[in-house]
Structure 1
Amino acid sequence: MVTCVVLGLGLIGGAVTGSWLSGDSADGAGTPDAFTAAGALWHSIPVDELFPPTVDGEGAGPGGADRTWTRIAVAPDSGCKDAFDPLLSKALAPAGCLRLLRATYTDATRSHVTTVGLLFTKADSAAMGTLRTRFNAQGLDRRRDLMPRPYGAQGTLAAGFGDAQRASWTLSVLTDAPVVVYAVSGFADGRTVTEPQPAEDAMKADATTPAAQGGLGHDAQGLADRIERSLRKTVNSATEKPS
């Protein structure tokens, strides 16, 4: 795949977009205009900026060890049909699906694979707030029957990364943008995982599941965090006003 391909045409302009992405409360951040602008980002950012070829995770590994992840596949941007397990699709349905963007990475040892996804929804700010409250209150982001599905691209190290290989995951409903960010990780050798564990639990020092001992919770959480930061940083840089 040509990595300089752009997921759409143009680049969203305007100070409100930059304000949201920088987390700045000034210049309209958190306003309906900023929220709407953020929802248009899925078709405006180059692939290499949205999902960088290499992601550095300083201190992101177990015990504060550094991590490095290399992108091995980018899924064509798509809708959400068959992208999630039925129960997760049902839980996310109130927000709607505008576009789904995904990429899969491997760690430096090529022993782990992790899919990161950005679901751009059709929801307004109030609906995203309601969805986030429901996920948090009911612990929906921690249920094994609501794990996101991986993108196991054929011809890559992730070819055997399917539903049965999911080991750890994280999912976050944003409220300042119509976006759900998630990541799901597994072993690159295609082994079946019988005890998948949410990243938050797998990252605990006393966790003993295969996911925890392999550092797969750190992979899922670390990549999800950094892809979200990359999105914010990239678009803020592209839309900031000249000095």
Structure 2
Amino acid sequence: MLGAGLLGGAAAGTWLTDSGSERAAGFHAAADLWREIPVDDLFPRELRGDGAGPGGADRRWTRLAAAPDGTCKHAFDELLARALSSVGCRRLVRATYVDETATSVTTVGMVFTRADADGMRALRQRFADETLDARPDLMPRPYPVRGTAAAGFGDAQRASWTVRVLDDAPIVVFAVTGYADGRNVSDPQPAAEAVRRGETTAPAQAGLGHDAKGIADRVERVVRRAAAQTVEP
């Protein structure tokens, strides 16, 4: 069973440590967070995004369900699974949220990999060099939740997404967002583009890029804090 869960907000850069030995300790400690953090901490029942919406609007998301932890089998489309295969998959954890207006649904998750620091840096560099995080054929798959606003959240409903390969932890953070009404999307847009000022695409105007980015940010931040706490003297 998933030990318990803890996802909150984003923080770029390195773990909250100073020395190389502390960073190394943080990297290894992060590998087991999926079974050491309570679910309600890993994926809080409510996430608040002050200023995280279009134009700096506040956002709030409510968790619909957290999936049992498991393997990555069938969790990703073939090309994304292949891209991530170099780092392996120890465990996959994910949850689905709905925004407070019940307009959008978002699946957020983390792949805890089997890679060492060099392996994660190599994968991160590949994603950057080949802009793999912006390719629609490498979108993460959603986790639909029966009897909720995300019941119809399938592959055809994916509208905006983000995939982040961390190089200071054996973790890949991802999020994918769609409309809560279950409509099909023919022109998905990566969150990094959809949040740009002046974007006029449907995902951008609906704030779906902001949802994907905002939720992934908060998940990543909580995990970083948890890893830092495990190496505090």
Q: TM-score, normalised by structure 1?
A: 0.88
CA contact (8 A) 1:168 1:197 kept: yes
Deviation per residue, 1:73-101 (Å, 9 max, x gap): 10010100000000000000000000000
Distance 2:224 2:84 in 1: 23
> How do 1:1-243 residues align onto structure 2 when only pairs under 5 Å count?
7-8=2-3, 23-26=16-19, 28-31=21-24, 33-237=25-229, 240-241=232-233
2:174 partner SS: strand
In structure 2, stretches of 5+ residues that fail to align are: 5-12
CA distance in 1, matches of 2:225, 2:88: 26
- Indicate the structure (1 or 2) with the bigger Cα radius of gyration: 1
C-alpha root-mean-square deviation of aligned residues, in Å? 1.8
Q: Distance in 2 between matches of 1:87 and 1:126?
A: 22
* 1:211 CA displacement: 0.5
Count of matched residue positions in the alignment of Structure 1 and Structure 2: 225
Q: Secondary structure at the match of 2:108?
A: strand
In the alignment, the residues of structure 2 paired with residue 212 and residue 34 of structure 1 have an alpha-carbon distance, to the nearest angstrom, of: 36
* Cα displacement (A) at 1:24: 1.7
- CA–CA distance in 1 between the matches of 2:226 and 2:165? 20
Q: How far apart are residue 154 of structure 1 and its match?
A: 1.4
Deviation at 1:29, TM superposition (A): 2.6
Identity %: 56
Q: Aligned partners of 1:206 and 1:221: how far apart in 2?
A: 17
In structure 2, what residue type is equivalent to 1:30?
R
SS at match of 2:47: strand
Give the 3 Å change call, closer, same or farther, for CA 235–127 of structure 1 in structure 2: closer
Q: Distance in 1 between matches of 2:90 and 2:130?
A: 25
Question: Relative to structure 1, is the Cα distance of residues 239 and 52 closer, same or farther in structure 2, using a 3 angstrom cutoff?
Answer: farther
SS of residue matched to 1:81:
coil
Rounded Cα–Cα distance in structure 1 between residues aligned with 2:20 and 2:88: 28
Where 2:22 maps in the other structure, the secondary structure is coil
